[in-house]
Amino acid sequence: MAEHSAEHIVSPKTYAAVLTALLIGTALTVYAAKVDLGRFNIVLALTIATIKMTLVILFFMHGKYSPRRTQLVIVAGFFWLAIMLGLTLQDYSTRHAEPSRSQLNELPSSLLRRS
Amino acid sequence: MHRTGELFGQFQTLEQQKETATLGMWVFLVTEILFFGGLFLTYSINRHAYATAFGIGGNMLDLNLGFGNTVVLIASSFTMAMSVWSAQTSHKKLVPIFLILTLVLGSVFLGIKVVEYKQKFDHHLIPGHSFDITYCSKNPSACNLSGKDLDDEKKEIKEGIEAEADEAKKQGAANPEDVGAAALNAHAQLYFSLYFGMTGLHALHMIIGAGLLLWLIFEARKGRFDANYNTPVDNIGLYWHFVDIVWIFLFPLLYLINRHLA
């Protein structure tokens, strides 16, 4: 730790390149939104947003040059976010999949005949 | 008492002291990620449940203003990063200049947001008693709506009411058409509640950021920040970039998702 010099300084050139990439990403996401890709519109929009976020964190926020300890905190933050989003969404998406036994008994017989 | 970058007793080196401050800022930002994450989660679940109404709501936002704001905010992140660079390389005169540019761009963002909110107010899209998703299609002149845009919006709302009516029929409603119209209005209102909640909370973060920038500009003009000491510029920079990231996700989720249907 003693030997590595103070802080890493990101050059204005790199910042300008990131700015350009972010602006291109913004134009691209607007363009892509107007094309009908069915359910992949949302996938593409979120992919572009995630790439833009990664660029901001790595360069504008110096994530790429941060000590391991700081990087671990950043990754941990997104890990917990993934737990919150993932487990809640899977709960919502599976909750109504199968009616319970008691619900089945209450359903009209016309619906039960299907199974 | 002003800190000037002297070493505090609990640290061994200045570098360790700086790293600790950055780490602390990141821990705070992680709590912010989870804070906004909860709202994004709420949005996702409701969007999934009421996709038609959310799509109609999203298409009523002004894409040009939203796009312009995204560009403005990304540019402000760049000027913020440049002020950090200026401090790290001891270009003391440049630090306040880039900070002022950041503040100006941040204010432009908030100004555009005010224009958008006012527009939504005029179009009866503020959640509450007078919320009416059909207002613009019924009063096109009040919303400057004409031609193809008007036809598209009428068609979207008609199809939205039909979709909601089908759903009501499935659940055994006696008068599905009336229920359909009411349900579309209620679910579109949910979209606009989330729109104002999320963009409002984001705007609040921008206002706090603008306050922090004002203080930074004031201090930077005294020449306080240089290669030896720039922790406040760096940490407020991290906060500013975080707020930018939130908008990077808000923009596609709120403005863009259903544009291909129009």
ipTM of the complex model: 0.93
Return all residues near B181 (Cβ < 8 A) that are at least 6 apart: B134, B161, B164, B165
pLDDT at A100: 56
Residues A72, A31 share a domain: no
pLDDT tens-digit map of A1-34: 333 445 789 999 999 999 999 999 999 999 999 9
CA B44 to chain A, closest CA, distance in angstroms equals: 8
Return mean pLDDT, chain A: 85
Tell me which DSSP letter residue B123 carries: T
B249 touches chain A (CB under 8 A): yes
Range of the domain at A84: 65-92
What is the rounded distance in angstroms from the CA atom of residue A53 to the CA atom of residue B77? 12
Residues A57, A16 share a domain: yes
**Between chains, do A41 and B29 touch, taking CB under 8 Å as contact?**
no
CA A92 to chain B, closest CA, distance in angstroms equals: 8
Angstrom distances, CA of residue A115 to CA of A94, A104, A108, A111: 19, 11, 13, 8
**Which of B38, B71, B82 is facing A15, going by the closest CB pair?**
B82
Spans of all domains in chain B: 31-261
Cβ atoms B233, B95 nearer than 8 A = yes
Residues A40, A14 share a domain: yes
What is the rounded distance in angstroms from the CA atom of residue A68 to the CA atom of residue B47? 37
**Between chains, do A53 and B251 touch, taking CB under 8 Å as contact?**
no
pLDDT tens-digit map of B123-167: 999 999 999 999 999 999 999 888 888 999 999 999 999 999 988
The highest-level CATH class for domain B31-261 is mainly alpha
Residue A111 has pLDDT above 70, yes or no: no
- Residue B245 burial by Cβ neighbours in a 10 Å radius (0-12, 13-18, 19+): buried
> Above pLDDT 70, what percent of chain A?
77
A36 touches chain B (CB under 8 A): yes
What is the rounded distance in angstroms from the CA atom of residue B262 to the CA atom of residue A13? 40
Chain B interface mutation, best of A61, A78, A107, highest count of B Cβ atoms under 10 Å: A61
Cβ atoms A33, A41 nearer than 8 A = yes
Chain B interface mutation, best of A11, A30, A64, highest count of B Cβ atoms under 10 Å: A30
**Between chains, do B30 and A73 touch, taking CB under 8 Å as contact?**
yes
**Which of B37, B245, B259 is facing A53, going by the closest CB pair?**
B245
Residue A101 has pLDDT above 70, yes or no: no
Residues A75, A36 share a domain: no
Residues A14, A48 share a domain: yes
Cβ atoms B206, B243 nearer than 8 A = yes
Question: Coil, strand, or helix at residue B52?
Answer: helix
* Residue A109 belongs to a domain: no
Q: Any idea which residue has 């930002």 for tokens? A: B29
CA A3 to chain B, closest CA, distance in angstroms equals: 11
Residue among B239, B243, B260 nearest B251 (CA)? B243
* Residue A40 belongs to a domain: yes
**Between chains, do A9 and B85 touch, taking CB under 8 Å as contact?**
yes
pLDDT at B172: 80
pLDDT at A4: 46
Residues A42, A15 share a domain: yes
pLDDT at B175: 85
Number of structural domains (chain A) is 2
